[in-house]
Amino acid sequence: MPLDIISKNSYHESKGKENPVTLKSAVSEKGQVTIPKPIRDRLGLKAGSIIEFKLRGGVLLVRKGSGPEDPLEQVTGIVELEMPVDRYLYLSRGPVE
């Protein structure tokens, strides 16, 4: 199998019994991992794409995420109000005529 070197990170392909192809990548000092190009291409991952990490037992699962594409969706619901918006508007503006 070919060995591709990407800056300081590298990955290689190996055939295993359980998985037809296993791709490995080294973790950098910053905890970053390069996703091998064949996987990025197959999943359509580009810079800024969301991926999800899940621990199941001692296994790390990584999959393409379905995160919000609109940046405003990322912050919607973060602020917790002490009262409903309608009540706040009523107190600040008065009754609707």
Buried-exposed string 31-64: b where 16+ CB fall within 10 A, e elsewhere: eeebbbeeeeeeeebeeeeeeeeeeeeeeeeeee
Total domains, the chain = 1
Tens-digit pLDDT profile for residues 12-71 = 555 555 445 788 899 999 999 999 998 899 889 999 888 888 999 988 888 888 766 677
Tell me how far apart the alpha carbons of residues 44 and 28 are, in angstroms, rounded to a whole number.
23
Tell me how far apart the alpha carbons of residues 97 and 90 are, in angstroms, rounded to a whole number.
11
Predicted structure pTM score: 0.47
pLDDT value at residue 29: 95
Which domain, by its residues, includes 61? 3-93
By residue count, the chain amounts to 97
- CATH value at residue 7: 2.10.260.10
